[in-house]
Amino acid sequence: MSSPWSPRREITAEDSRLLIERAHDELVAGNDDRLRDVRPLVRESWRRSLASIAGVEGMPPLELDPDAIDAYRREHPLAGAVEMIRALLLPGGADDSGVIVAMGDASGRLLWVEGDRAVRRLTGDMGFVPGADWSEGAVGTSAPGTALALGRSVQIRGAEHFNRHVQPWSCTAAPVHDPETRGILGVIDVTGGVEAVTPQAQLLVDATARAIEAELLVARLRAPKPSGRRRATRAVEPTRVTLRVLGRDRAQLEVAGDGAETVSELGQRHAEILLMLAVHRQGLSAERLAELVYGDPDAVVTLRAEMVRLRKVLTRVAPTLAPESRPYRLPNSTETDAHQVLSLLDRGAHRVALAAFRGDVLPDSVSPGVEEFRDTVRIALREALMAEASVEVLLAFAETDAGAEDVDLLRLCLSMLPARSPKRAGLVARLARLEADD
């Protein structure tokens, strides 16, 4: 496989480089006159660097020794993504790729540095090695440190680096976020010549970061629940509340807080009420909630009696979870696993959304509001996948209950498969069987 880092035309003209170098020198000397010649992103990073760095030629501090790095790597969230990063950013002959790929933690400390041997040897002389701190506070403007400071991908070209030792190089970096909390887990960086700061390089590094986040979420969704989790043994002050309704007749309420997590199973009626309140966050009148749950706006007396029982159940788990009245609404921001699927679809994470889709919303419920929301989730998933997903994701969807008898979905899969794909015969047989049943 050929390297994605093929040589390209120099994108920074020599006169632009000289302007940047002069602006850098004048900033360090205390004169800001030339800063208008520098990109705003770089200008602000230089100012942050000037406030925290003593000089412009220092070496990054080594924060981790080899033994500490080995132990830290094994426990770091990015450890399981190293092979994916290699496959996406260093395909084929990594040793002569012309670039190096680094992975660091959320503090900017490099944990893995791999790629072209000659480039690694040269960048090693400036301290670009595992264990070194490449945050803005340690070395000034650089793609890894500035990406972490801004929380998004950045490209830093040659003379834009604050540290003179780094100015022969160019780099692109992107932070990797926790797929659930959105906190930063670490950073990935590509360093080399001008080939490392093309628009294509930024797209590739960004896509790699998103792929890592998706894999992390898939791994969490597939992981078995820890056997030691406490089950509603004491009330906690919630920091995260999740209502799990996908593929379940009896919903599961997970409440995390105070260093503990409780899991409670709810009866179907309580699950229906909580789900409606989670869907309608602005609140519902008693009549409207009765209509959504019972199909009868006059069933207010029945609803109020059920709300009393629900409040008692929730008070044992977390007193602050009990719904408020007039209108009925939840005092806390309660997530549902169905809303998480919709959020993943909005972000284009189709494969992860499909992995998170464990089945229809409360499949045995006949409450009008639940049926409506069930259809909303199923239709949103189907339409998003059919519009944008790969054939592999569509085939996986076709194996779920939601897609198993979808003739249009199977036809789309058939049209996307190569002519000689061995999967075509099975699809043709399924289509024939479904069309015969019609």
CB atoms within 10 A of CB 44: 16
Q: 296 with 353, same domain?
A: yes
Q: Please state, rounded to an integer, the average pLDDT across all residues of the chain.
A: 83
Q: 85 with 210, same domain?
A: yes
Q: 78 with 192, same domain?
A: yes
Q: What is the pLDDT of residue 231?
A: 45
Q: 152 with 262, same domain?
A: no
CA-to-CA dists, residue 190 to 112, 113, 123, 384, angstroms: 12, 10, 12, 32
Q: Which domain holds residue 110?
A: 14-222
> Would you say residue 167 lies in a domain?
yes
Q: What is the pLDDT of residue 369?
A: 95
> Would you say residue 244 lies in a domain?
yes
> Would you say residue 431 lies in a domain?
no
Q: What is the mean pLDDT of residues 186-213?
A: 92
User: Do 273 and 241 meet the contact criterion of CB atoms below 8 Å apart?
Assistant: no
Count of CA atoms in the C-beta half-sphere (13 A) of 201? 30
More confident residue, 28 or 433: 433
The last residue of one of the domains, among 195, 222, 249, is: 222
To the nearest 10 degrees (0 to 180), the angle between helices 268-279 and 368-388 is 60
The last residue of one of the domains, among 203, 222, 241, is: 222
Q: 242 with 261, same domain?
A: yes
Could you give the number of structural domains in the chain?
A: 2
Q: What is the pLDDT of residue 16?
A: 56
Handedness of CA 292, 296, 300, 306 (dihedral sign): negative
Please give the structure tokens belonging to residue 61.
Answer: 């501090």
> Would you say residue 249 lies in a domain?
yes
> Would you say residue 342 lies in a domain?
yes
Buried b (16+ CB within 10 A) or exposed e, 22-39: ebbeebbeeeeebbeebe
Q: 151 with 267, same domain?
A: no
Model pLDDT for residues 269-280, shown as the tens digit of each residue: 999 999 999 999
Model pLDDT for residues 1-19, shown as the tens digit of each residue: 456 665 544 434 455 556 6
- The percentage of residues in the chain with a pLDDT greater than 70, rounded to a whole number, is 84
> Which of the residue ranges 118-127, 286-295, 318-327, 362-371 would you say has the lowest mean pLDDT?
318-327
Q: 46 with 97, same domain?
A: yes
> Would you say residue 398 lies in a domain?
no
Give the CA angle between residues 108, 111, 114 to the nearest 5°: 115
Q: 32 with 98, same domain?
A: yes
- 185 φ, ψ (degrees, to nearest 5): -95, -35
> Would you say residue 9 lies in a domain?
no
Burial class (CB in 10 A: 0-12, 13-18, 19+), 412: middle
Please give the structure tokens belonging to residue 431.
Answer: 């289509």
Q: 162 with 213, same domain?
A: yes
What CATH number does residue 85 fall under?
A: 3.30.450.40
Which own/partner pairs from 207-211 qualify as long-range (CB within 8 Å, at least 24 positions apart)?
207/88, 208/84, 208/85, 208/88, 208/89, 208/174, 209/153, 209/174, 209/175, 209/176, 209/177, 210/349, 211/84, 211/88
> Which of the residue ranges 31-45, 118-132, 399-413 would you say has the lowest mean pLDDT?
31-45
Strand partners, 191: 100, 171
pLDDT over 50 at 361, yes or no:
yes
Q: What is the pLDDT of residue 180?
A: 81
> Would you say residue 176 lies in a domain?
yes
Q: 232 with 215, same domain?
A: no
Q: What is the pLDDT of residue 229?
A: 46
pLDDT over 60 at 325, yes or no:
yes
Q: 235 with 212, same domain?
A: no
The last residue of one of the domains, among 222, 242, 275, is: 222
Q: What is the pLDDT of residue 95?
A: 65
> Which of the residue ranges 17-31, 157-171, 270-284, 410-424 would you say has the lowest mean pLDDT?
17-31
Q: 126 with 41, same domain?
A: yes
Q: What is the mean pLDDT of residues 287-315?
A: 91
Model pLDDT for residues 150-180, shown as the tens digit of each residue: 999 999 998 888 888 888 999 999 999 988 8
Q: What is the pLDDT of residue 62?
A: 84
- Name the one residue in this structure whose structure tokens are 């595992």: 130
